[in-house]
Structure 1
Amino acid sequence: MLRVGGLASGMETDLIIKDLMAAKRIPLDKMIQKKQLLEWKRDDYRTMNNKIRELKDAAFDMKLESGYLSKKVTSSQENKVTVSATSLASEGQHSIKIDQLAQGASLTSGDLAGAAGGGKTLGSLNLSSDTQLVVTGEKGSKSINIKTSDSVTQMVALINNETASTGVRATYDEKLDRIFFNSTKSGTLSQVNLELANGNNINSIFGFTGSSEVTVGGMSSLTGDSYVNSGITGTQVLTVNYGSKQYNFNVTATTKVADLVSQMNSGMINDGVGVKLNSSGQLEFSNSNAGTPITFSDVSGDIVMKLGLDNTWIKSSAINAKGLNAKVEFNGIKAEYNSNSFEIAGFNFTAKETTNTAVNIGVSQDVDAVFERIKTFIGKYNTLIDDVNKELVEKKQRDFKPLTPEQREAMKEEDIKKWEEKAKMGMLSNDTLLSGALSTMRSSLSAFVGGIPDGQLKSLAEIGISSSNIVGKTISGSYSDKGKIYIDEKKLKQALTDNPEEVMAIFTKNGATEATDGIATRLHDQTTTILKQITDRAGTITSVDKSFSLGKESLDITEQMKRLTARLADMETRYYKQFTAMEKHISKMNSQSSWLSQQFSQ
């Protein structure tokens, strides 16, 4: 609203009204200052709450027995097997021998046809028609549509798009001009199985090298004691073709599956082909030359059918590789794992190489680790003690009150900052809530832990932790430290070496009462209580004002300020109306005086 005053009277109306209102606004300024003090006090409480929460979290960790059972582990051959120990590992000497490392399944193509480069097409690699590449891994199987016009890079991308479903990942190396197919996991359950539909010869396209395994049985579940075919007469011949080689095996009505497996292994193993009956009742062939197909036949076809050796199972369109388990001997006991990282009896092992002899594993109590843990905890306690004491003894600067809006406008930013640094001091000076909490914590640390049998350690002082330690000629701690505690490192380490479980009990014991609780248990419970008390008073950053006492008080002041502000606005409006009426009256009198003067002058 535009107001122009003093035109008739010549009085500085705005200045007069401003001075009048300044006196009336003194109660409002006091409310603004009081609200600001409440907000500063709230913020200081919340800052202290965060520091107390840090000690509470540390006390919770100190309550856990696992933290006192740290073990130090050594391996006589770190370059071949590394080891760490959990709290469950038994102290003493152990041994482990790595007989075989776990491996993932893998297939590697030969040198692909044509010039190296991921842009060459599958058609240039002798893929005769658009078809499907069936990719199977430990996670499952996926049929992937591939075209003769697809590039090698595109095919690799299509395979990797399904890795989450198959467990098979492909990589093309342009320098080597080869495709590497690998399982995402290791162990005997991992596999890489590739099969092309439409009769395409997978080896003529990719030229696979290395060994593979293909499961071929499965039309019926086989057992070693079952007969190959009890219904045949005389002797029939099962023929196995492996590349240019042919193997013939005699089968009669009394030939058992186990006998046939033994015959085939005796005849073919030296040429790189092995066979076994797997747990699923299928015949499983290992092939030292992944590029060489294996086919089966007999005169009648009856034996091939009974064994599930359909040529559609093993042919040039399919190839398979399987992974290996890690084979180890721990303390003389043999075991297998599908990874080179495995856990045995509280030990975490990582096998790097096979070992000819057993690796010696030494386990002992890790005194240094537990000592550092206790030292860190005491350090956090002392830090909190310092912070609380600083707040309690900080003097209020009563000459520096919160600035009113008008005062802030009249000051420079730098001066405002310096002023408020003084004004914020002593918000928690002599605070009874904090001083009471400090006293409670100090008492709990100095008291004995009840319920511990006679003759055992039962206080911090007995393990070298107290408010006044004397080590040689050095004295640590005094009354002026106001509750800080100190560590006699030699005494604490000796206690951890001689009586680790008793030291643990001093911190972790969970009794029926506070007197029988361990130190960490007490502090955790006490800090939990203190946090709730401070939260009830000052809330948290996410709290609404009406949920804590200082917030409620602030809301009350805000309401009072609104009412007073409205009254002041009405008062200011009334002053302006009164001065306006006066100006109008003076103007009218001036007009009459001017008229009278004109009349007398005629």
Structure 2
Amino acid sequence: MVLRIGGLASGMDIDTLVEQLMTAEKVPLDKINQKKTYTEWQRDDYREMNSLLLDLDTTIFNGVAKEASYIKKTVAISNSDALSVKNVNSTIDFSGTVKIEEIASAASMHSYTKSRVTDSSKPLSEYGLTADQTITISAINKDGVMQEKPYELTITKEDTLDSIISKINKDSGVTAFYDTFTQKISFTAKNTGNIAGSGDIDRTPEIILTDTGDGQVGNKFFNNILGINSNNVLAADKDAGNAGTNAKVEYNGLEITRPSNTFTINGVEFTAKKVTTDPVTFSSTPDVDSILDTITQFVNKYNEAVEKIRAKTTESKYRDYAPLTDAQKEDMTEDEIEKWEKLAKSGTLKNDSILTNVLSKMRSNFSSPVSGTSTYTQLSQIGITTTANYLDGGKLTIDEDKLREAISADPNAVYELFQKDGDTSSEQGIARRLRDSLKTAMTDITAKAGKASSVNNTFTLGKVLNNYSDQITRFEDKLEMLESRYWARFTAMETAINKANSQSTYLTSMFSS
């Protein structure tokens, strides 16, 4: 380390002199830092464009590219208090009649006598449980058959009835309830239906309770402590239970039964609510408003992407406005810095080939007809065209009346126009083509600018940034050595002057004596 002597002998401001010399030497370093900052701006703008394209791609995927967007139906029902009808996946309109003869209900059972439990918050040891027991509960499934694997729970004498009920209600196929007033417990199947297909007790239970592991007669959890039978059939024999029932309906003249009040026929979901004397009629039509809204959202998002990409690729580039250095910012106000950097950041993606190419491909995706479709081959046939102003860059506009007419006539044909599959681009629907173009552009942008999680050496601009960082490090080391050299020279000068002054003082004192 060089000893620095700051002008004590010469009277010169060495600190200021070295600082001024180094300011001139730092000019190349400032230029490298400015290039690095500009590259970072460019990288961030690329990533913003990638997010824009991804947002458009997601809108397409969740909207016009999904069949579910086009099968939405408006359903008219003559008696909505008795029946509800909802389209699940039917691609065609439907109609018919449903007469509801029986409503499905759940099997249940309860204690035939008071349980030993008087306080459900106290440990079971107080009510006769002396050792661990394993209990199991089997119940009817949604499809009307018993579950294959019963729910199993080990209980201890430290457990309370409240804690056991909480676990049963959470994980088993039944809901349990303890009534402190009657000191009885009830179990109700979570699913409706009758195992044997009728509501009569036919010795085929929907709820089965077992308890094992104690080995002590008279201390079984269900039978002795809770006073409840082992299944709902035996409970019914003691007027303490009932069987589940199936829903029975007459669908378009055909009598059918289902274990649940909610069931699906031909892609349409029905929910029986109450018994009817007269048939309930229903019919569907396309939900034009909902389908129109989905397409409109897509068009708006597409236009937003076109506008932002075009604005970015055509904005002016101000070469006289380089990124500001820290020293330059110190002499400027915040408002001046903001105005300067707005111009400095402009044009980072001017005429960028990736973005201009994807705009061109997107316009081609829309203008080229889709071959092999059943009805529509171009968007113009359903009321979607490009705007007349060429400066819009290919934005879309919607003739709402024409689009409504196309949706009402055949929503499946509209879906086919957007999402038809095919081996070649000409055979593919417009949404498929567009997503392919977006995917290519996003891949190219990622290769150039990476993602937020990317490491610099995995993408082009990142490697450029790494190179600038290396240059900056080397140049800073060079400047440090140069500054040390300047100080060494000035220190040598100060030392020489100081020595000369000492000799002069000595000689003066010799001659004057």
Name the TM tier (shorter chain).
0.7 to 0.9
Question: What displacement does 1:192 show?
Answer: 4.8
Say whether the 8 Å CA contact 2:121–2:162 is kept in structure 1: no
Rounded Cα–Cα distance in structure 1 between residues aligned with 2:217 and 2:169: 24
Name which of structure 1's ranges 372-381 and 191-200 shifts more when overlaid on structure 2.
Answer: 191-200
Q: Which residue of 420, 430, 440 corresponds with 1:529?
A: 440
Distance across 1 between alignment mates of 2:416 and 2:172 = 51
Residue type matched to 2:97 in 1? Answer: S
Using a 3 Å threshold, how does the CA distance of structure 1 residues 167 and 33 change in structure 2: closer, same or farther? same
- The one-letter code sitting in structure 2 at the alignment partner of 1:213 is V
Q: 2 CA distance for matches of 1:77 and 1:176? A: 41
Q: What is residue 287 of structure 1 aligned with on the other side? A: 237
Q: 1:326 aligns with which of 247, 254, 257?
A: 247
Segment of structure 1 superposing worse, 398-407 or 136-145: 136-145
Shift in CA distance, 183/69, structure 1 to aligned 2, threshold 3 Å: closer
In 1, Cα distance between equivalents of 2:138 and 2:180: 25
What is the Cα deviation at residue 443 of structure 1? Answer: 2.7
Contact 1:467 1:484 in 2 (8 A): yes
Moved more, 16-25 or 1-10: 1-10
* 1:464 paired to 2:470: no
How many angstroms apart in 2 are the aligned matches of 1:410 and 1:288?
95
- Name the CA shift for 1:159/1:528 in 2 (closer, same or farther; >3 Å): same
Superposition pairs of residues 504-583 of structure 1, within 5 angstroms: 504-583=415-494
Partner of 2:207: 191
Matches within 5 A, 1:206-355: 206=226, 212-214=232-234, 286-287=236-237, 289-290=239-240, 322-355=243-276
Q: What's the counterpart of residue 25 of structure 1?
A: 26
Shift of 1:175: 6.7
The answer (yes or no) to whether the contact 2:416–2:429 under 8 Å persists in 1 is: yes
Cα-to-partner distance string for 1:55-82 (whole Å, 9 max, x where unaligned): 2233344334443333322322222222
Cα distance, 1:171 vs structure 2: 3.0
- Superposed counterparts of 1:384-463, under 5 Å: 384-409=305-330, 416-417=337-338, 419-452=340-373, 456-463=375-382
CA shift digits 1:512-537 (9 cap, x unpaired): 33233322121111111111111111
The answer as to whether partners of 1:103 and 1:186 remain within 8 angstroms in 2 is yes
Residue deviations 1:451-508 (CA, integer Å, cap 9, x gap): 457xx4321122211124xxxxxxxx42232211111111111122234444333222
Q: Letter of the aligned partner of 1:199 in structure 2?
A: G
Q: Is the 8 A contact 1:107 1:192 kept in 2?
A: no
Which deviates further from its counterpart, 96-105 or 190-199? 190-199
Preserved contact between residue 466 and residue 485 of structure 1 (Cα < 8 Å): yes
What's the counterpart of residue 182 of structure 1? 188
Structure-2 residue corresponding to 1:140: 150
CA contact (8 A) 1:536 1:548 kept: yes
The answer to which of 191-200 and 429-438 deviates more is 191-200
Counterpart CA distance in 2 for 1:81 and 1:164 is: 30
Whichever residue aligns with residue 458 of structure 1, its letter is T
C-alpha root-mean-square deviation of aligned residues, in Å?
3.3
Deviation sequence 1:322-362 (CA, Å, 0-9, x none): 53333333323344433333222101223333333332221
* Structure 1 residues 397 and 107: CA distance shift in structure 2, 3 A: farther
- How far off is 1:592 after superposition? 0.7
- Tell me which structure has the larger Cα radius of gyration: 1
Contact 1:464 1:487 in 2 (8 A): yes
Q: Secondary structure at the match of 1:586?
A: helix
Taking a change above 3 Å as real, the CA distance of residues 567 and 181 of structure 1, as seen in their structure-2 partners, is same
The Cα shift of 1:21 comes to 0.9
Matches within 5 A, 1:494-505: 494-505=405-416
Q: Matched residues in 1 for 2:151 and 2:360: separation? A: 68
Q: Paired residue for 2:84?
A: 82
**8 Å contact from structure 1 (residues 514, 522) kept in 2:** yes
1:584 is the counterpart of 2:491: no
Structure 1 counterpart SS, 2:107: strand
User: Is the contact between residue 191 and residue 321 of structure 1 (CA under 8 Å) also seen in structure 2?
Assistant: no
Task: In structure 2, give the amino acid aligned to 1:575.
Answer: Y
SS class of match (2:311): helix
> Take 2:297 and 2:171, find their aligned partners in 1: how far apart are those partners?
47
Q: Give the aligned partner of residue 378 of structure 1.
A: 299
The one-letter amino acid paired with 2:376 is: L
The aligned amino acid for 2:43 is R
- Partners of 2:321 and 2:186 lie apart in 1 by 76
For residues 195 and 328 of structure 1, do their structure 2 counterparts lie closer, same or farther at Cα, with a shift above 3 Å needed? Answer: farther
Distance (Å, rounded) in 2 between the aligned partners of 1:93 and 1:435: 50
CA shift digits 1:383-421 (9 cap, x unpaired): 111111221232234443222233345556665455434
Q: Give the 3-state SS of the residue equivalent to 1:102 in structure 2.
A: coil
Kept in 1, the 8 Å contact 2:365–2:433? The answer is yes
C-alpha distance in 1, partners of 2:243/2:174? 12
Distance (whole Å) between structure 2 residues aligned to residue 461 and residue 394 of structure 1:
31
Q: Which residue does 1:489 correspond to in 2?
A: 400
Q: Give TM-score, length-normalised by structure 2.
A: 0.83
SS at match of 1:461: helix
Distance 1:4 1:444, change over 3 A: same
Classify 1:44/1:173 alpha carbon distance in 2 versus 1 (closer, same or farther; 3 Å): farther
The one-letter amino acid of 1:549's match is T
- C-alpha change, 1:90 and 1:440, in structure 2 (3 Å) is closer
For residues 62 and 113 of structure 1, what CA distance do their matches in structure 2 show?
60
- TM-score where L is the length of structure 1: 0.72
Counterpart residue type for residue 383 of structure 2 = G
SS of alignment partner, residue 63 of structure 1: coil
Partner of 1:249: none
Distance 1:10 1:520, change over 3 A: same
Distance 1:288 1:512, change over 3 A: same
Distance 1:212 1:513 in 2: 62
Shift of 1:208: 6.4
Native 8 Å contact 1:192 1:321 kept in 2: no
With over 3 angstroms needed to count, the CA separation of the structure-2 counterparts of 1:198 and 1:37, relative to structure 1, is same
**Which whole-Å deviations, capped at 9, do the CAs of 1:100-139 have from their partners, x for residues lacking one?**
3333333344795899754467688xx5664658442225
